[in-house]
């Protein structure tokens, strides 16, 4: 038990609903085909849940949730997924992000397109979430101590 000055209402409810917001963000990423949404919006919702935890329990305790130092590397990883798939399709002789040219032999073009878009959306989502959290951390600059 750590000594803590924040109101229990905010801490308890914030930690209670943060997982649900994360799941909602993942849902938006995975269902970009059917409705509004996709990588960017889902990533923003994911970032919102991380920021909620940071606001509720303070900078120090939220390191257990999403580390400050993870922001930039995970953002780069997400961008790398996006560009990796794009460059692979270019290497196979097509345009950037021409999903039907992904190098899997026995999969139909429409399936390739579906999963290609999905993986790219996930990459964008991770990149957006991590970058937004990194921007928030950079803006707070360690000035906030809970």
Partner 1 sequence: MQDVLIYITNLLAVIIIIPFYRVLKGPTVFDRVLGVGAIGTKTLVLICLVGFIYGRLEMFIDIALAYAVLNFISVLAIAKYFKSYRKGA
Partner 2 sequence: MGMSDMIAVLMILGGAFFLLVASIGIVRFPDFYTRLHAMGKGDTLGIILILLGLCVYEGFTLNSAKLLIALVFVGLTNPVATHALARAALRYGLKPLLKLDQEEKKPSTTSKSDALET
Partner 3 sequence: MTDSPGTTIKKFEQREHPWRGVAMQGFALMCLWLVLSGHFDFFHITTGAICVGIVLLLNARISSVQFFQGDVSEWEHLRFEHLLRFLPWLAWEIVEGSIQVASAVLHPKMPIEPAVIRFRVKLPIVGARVLFGNVITLTPGTVTLSITEDEFLIHALRRKSASTIIDGTMPRWIAQLFYDEDEQLVTSVEIIESSKEM
Phi/psi of residue 92, each to 5°? -80, 5
Tokens of 58: 């303070």
Residues engaged in binding partner 1 (CB under 8 A): 10, 14, 21, 24, 28, 35-37, 41, 45, 48, 51-52, 55-56, 143-144
Residues engaged in binding partner 2 (CB under 8 A): 7, 9-10, 13, 17
Closest approach of partner 3 to the CB of residue 139, in Å: 22
Burial 2-25 (b: 16+ CB within 10 A, else e): eeeeeeeeebeebeeebeebbebb
9 vs 95, which CB is nearer to partner 3?
9
17 vs 119, which CB is nearer to partner 2?
17
Provide DSSP, 81-111: HHHHHHHHHHHTTS-TT-GGGSS-TTS-HHH
For residue 3, give the 3-state DSSP assignment: coil
In whole angstroms, give the CA distance from residue 61 to residue 1. Answer: 12
In whole angstroms, give the CA distance from residue 120 to residue 134. Answer: 21
49 vs 89, which CB is nearer to partner 2?
49
4 vs 96, which CB is nearer to partner 2?
4
Closest approach of partner 1 to the CB of residue 118, in Å: 18
Residues from 87 through 126 that contact partner 3 (CB under 8 A):
none
Closest approach of partner 3 to the CB of residue 118, in Å: 9
Report the partner that residue 19 touches, choosing among partner 2, partner 3, partner 1, none (CB closer than 5 to 8 A by kind): partner 3
Quick one: which segment of 55-63, 74-82, 87-95, 123-131 binds partner 3 (CB under 8 A)? 55-63
Residue identified by tokens 């979430």 is 129
Tokens of 14: 């914030």
């Amino acid at each position: 038990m750590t000594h803590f000055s924040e109101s229990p209402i905010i801490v308890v409810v914030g930690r209670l609903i943060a997982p649900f917001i994360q799941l909602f963000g993942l849902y938006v990423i995975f269902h970009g085909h059917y409705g509004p949404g996709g990588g960017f919006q889902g990533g923003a919702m994911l970032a919102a849940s991380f920021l909620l935890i940071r606001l509720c329990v303070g900078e120090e305790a939220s390191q257990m949730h999403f580390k400050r130092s993870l922001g930039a590397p995970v953002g780069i990883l997400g961008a790398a997924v996006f560009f990796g798939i794009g460059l692979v399709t270019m290497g196979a002789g097509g345009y950037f992000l021409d999903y039907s040219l992904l190098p899997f032999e026995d999969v139909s073009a429409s399936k390739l397109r579906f999963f290609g878009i999905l993986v790219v959306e996930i990459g964008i989502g991770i990149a957006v979430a991590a970058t937004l959290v990194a921007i928030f951390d950079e803006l707070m600059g360690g000035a906030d101590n809970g």
